[in-house]
């Protein structure tokens, strides 16, 4: 006689639970934001890390509700210093997946459209996130300069150099925007390539359902631009993109 395995939540139930969790976090987080403000007056570092850990806990819970199984490779490659994370981008869950594993303070570069969402934007600001305005080169430069300043102050930065979610086939990538890599070139920090497989299968491949999925997240060896030869530095975007793409192709049979 065989025992029947209990079925988990349906894909639609997972989606609803994640939406409810996000809504409750933002609403119930209003008094928390006020408390964090006063904590910041006494100890900015304590405020920074309490915000970081709360959001990370929530992201991990969302991933658990979504039924995401994560295989992480190469996490030991991340040095204990501020870095520039770059990666391929195919899902909203890429942010949850990568941010939940940041050991240090890390600000993500997001589109300026995120400023439309109250409370969410307040939490993002507390986490050193930046809102990129691509309407003019000057506005984009302001964001890059702020990111450079953050790295110099000890805050890592994460950016998806494709500029938007890639809706193409698994393993494909959009061209990298070289401007994002100036953050590493101007500060001397390491670039940490993040290669993600199968994240689109969590949600975007079958909207609005959230399905149980196995994803791969691999952190590559740190890349220090000032240690590369002149020709490689001239094509740094392509160089980094090739590393990520080769890793994605290497790992595609693991999911």
Give one DSSP letter per residue of 69-120, joined into a string.
Answer: EEEEE-GGGS-SS-EEEEE----THHHHHHHTT-SS-EEEEEEGGGGGSTTH
Question: For residue 195, is pLDDT > 50?
Answer: yes
User: How high is the mean pLDDT of the chain?
Assistant: 94
Output the pLDDT for position 171.
86
Question: For residue 215, is pLDDT > 50?
Answer: yes
Name the strand (E) or helix (H) holding 190: strand 190-197
Predicted TM-score (pTM) of the model is 0.93
148-153 contacts: CB < 8 A, separation 24 or more? 148/182, 148/183, 148/186, 148/187, 150/82, 150/107, 151/82, 151/84, 151/183, 151/187, 151/189, 152/187
| Residue 140: band (very low, low, confident or very high) from pLDDT cuts 50, 70, 90 | confident
Task: Report the alpha-carbon distance of residue 235 to residue 22 in Å, rounded.
Answer: 40
Any idea how long the chain is?
Answer: 255
Question: For residue 169, is pLDDT > 50?
Answer: yes
Task: Report the alpha-carbon distance of residue 81 to residue 84 in Å, rounded.
Answer: 10
Question: For residue 69, is pLDDT > 80?
Answer: yes
pLDDT tens digit sequence for 1-55: 334 444 678 999 999 999 999 999 999 999 999 999 999 999 999 999 999 999 9
pLDDT tens digit sequence for 86-119: 999 999 999 999 999 999 999 999 999 999 999 9
Nearest residue to 182 via CA among 112, 237, 118, 104 = 237
Q: Are residues 133 and 139 in contact, defined by beta-carbon separation less than 8 angstroms?
A: yes
């Amino acid at each position: 006689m065989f025992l029947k395995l209990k079925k988990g939540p349906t894909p639609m139930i997972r989606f609803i639970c994640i939406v409810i969790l996000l809504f409750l976090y933002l609403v119930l987080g209003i008094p928390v934001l006020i408390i964090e403000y006063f904590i910041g007056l006494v100890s900015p570092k304590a405020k920074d890390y309490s915000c970081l850990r709360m959001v990370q806990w929530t992201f991990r819970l969302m991933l658990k509700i979504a039924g995401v199984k994560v295989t992480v490779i190469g996490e030991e490659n991340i040095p204990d210093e501020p870095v520039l994370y770059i990666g391929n981008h195919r899902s909203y869950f890429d942010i949850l997946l990568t941010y939940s594993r940041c050991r240090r303070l890390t600000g993500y570069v997001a589109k300026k459209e995120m400023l439309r969402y109250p409370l969410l934007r307040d939490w993002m600001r507390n986490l050193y996130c930046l809102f990129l305005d691509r309407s003019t080169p000057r506005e984009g430069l302001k964001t890059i300069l702020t990111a450079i300043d953050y790295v110099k102050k000890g805050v890592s930065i994460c950016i998806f150099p494709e500029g938007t979610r890639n809706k193409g086939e698994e393993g494909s990538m959009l061209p990298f925007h070289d401007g994002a890599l100036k953050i590493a070139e101007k500060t001397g920090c390491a670039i940490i390539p993040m290669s993600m497989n199968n994240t689109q299968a969590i949600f975007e491949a079958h909207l609005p359902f959230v399905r149980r999925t196995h994803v791969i997240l691999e952190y590559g060896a740190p890349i220090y631009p000032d240690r590369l030869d002149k020709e490689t530095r001239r094509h740094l975007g392509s160089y980094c993109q090739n590393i990520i793409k080769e890793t994605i192709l290497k790992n595609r049979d693991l999911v």
